[in-house]
Amino acid sequence: MDASESEQYEAAIHGDREAFEMIIRTHSRTLFAIAYGVLQNREEAEDVVQDSLVKAWKTRWRVRDAEKFLAWLATITRHRAHDIFRKRRAVSLSNETIEATESHTADTTAIDQQLHSALAALPELHRTALTLRYFEEMDYRTIENTLGLTNGALRGILGRALASMRKQLRPALASMD
């Protein structure tokens, strides 16, 4: 993290709205990726990012260490996404999800459907890591920072995530070749 970025966070914590808006510009896609990793739904993910930003602004003075501002934002987003996820499951497992998947199936191929179910089967951390990687093409280091992982842990996570996806999609893959 370079100095100017750190200063930006500091300013945002102290109520500099412009700095905070700058952070929104640069990092909202990352937050989106995290929310999407949990929810796998674009609209919901967008709402989650929006809510998280508002909450972050309101509670920004709680952050003591400006260096950890981004990780803190990520945590807020993930928690918010979890809340939504739980609510969704509580409301109705059958209705919405299936409807949503059905609406997907209408205009997507079979492999897409398989991919989605395979993604849904992944542990949440793995899925988030994957979304961050494939949405934002972030390098491992940044992803680790954002998710609060230790050095080198991401390699194993992404390796395992890819492997399990591969195994689940093996028949489809074979057909593709």
Partner 1 sequence: MATIHDEIDTWLAADLHGELSNKERSALHAHLVDCAACRKTHHETKTMNKILEETFAQEKPDPAFEQRMLAGFRNRIPQRSGLVKVLVDLMRLRATQIAAVAAALLGLVQIGRMITGEPVTAPRAPERYAQIEVGPPQAPESRPSQAGALERSGGISAGRPQDLALQPPAPPAAARSQFQKESKVSATTAEPAKAAQSEAGDVAALELRNNAAVREEATQSPVESPAPALANRKLIRNATVELEIVSFDNAVQKITAFANGEHGYVATTDSEKQANGKLKGQIVVKVLPENLDRFLQEIRSLGELKNQALGTEDVTKAYFDTDSRLKNAHVMEQRLIDMLKTKTGKVSDLLQVEKELGRVREEIEKMQGELKYWDSQVQFATVTISLAEKDMEEPAAFLLKERAQLSLYTPDVEKIYNEAKSLASPKVQITNAQLNREYSGRVSAQLSMLIAPEESDAVIGRIKGFGRVENFQTQTQRIAQGGSGMSENARTKRDKMELNITISREEQEQAFQQTSLRIRTSSVDEKAKELRTLAEKQGGRVRSSTFSRDPDGREVANVSLRVPLKNYPALMQSLDSLGKVQNVSVQRQDRTEAQVDESNAPADISIQVYSQGNIVTEESGLLATLRRTLAQSAGAIMWSLRMIGVAIAFLAPWVIAIVGVIWLARRVIRARRKP
Q: Cβ contacts of residue 15 below 8 Å, gap of 6+?
A: 60
Q: Cβ contacts of residue 157 below 8 Å, gap of 6+?
A: 125, 126, 129, 149
Residue 43 near partner 1 by CB under 8 A: no
CB of 76 to partner 1, least distance (A): 14
Place of tokens 């191929």: 109
Place of tokens 């492999």: 111
How far out from the chain centre does Cα 45 lie? 8
Residue 36 near partner 1 by CB under 8 A: yes
Among 34, 70, 122, 130, binds partner 1 (CB under 8 A): 130
Contact 20, 14 (CB under 8 A): no
CA 141-144-147 angle, 5° bins = 150
Among 5, 10, 11, 28, binds partner 1 (CB under 8 A): 28
Among 5, 11, 19, 29, binds partner 1 (CB under 8 A): 29
The tokens describing 147, both together, are 């998710």
Residue 9 near partner 1 by CB under 8 A: no
Reduced to 3 states (helix: H, G, I; strand: E, B; else coil), residue 113 is: helix
Helix (H) or strand (E) segment spanning residue 161: helix 153-168
Size of the site for partner 1 (CB under 8 A): 44
Q: Give residues 145-174 in contact with partner 1 (rule: CB under 8 A).
A: 155-156, 158-163, 165-166, 169-170, 173
Among 86, 139, 151, 171, binds partner 1 (CB under 8 A): 139
Binding site for partner 1 (CB under 8 A): 14-15, 17, 21, 24-25, 28-29, 32, 36, 42, 46, 49-50, 53-54, 57-58, 61, 111-112, 115, 130-131, 133-135, 139-140, 155-156, 158-163, 165-166, 169-170, 173, 176-177
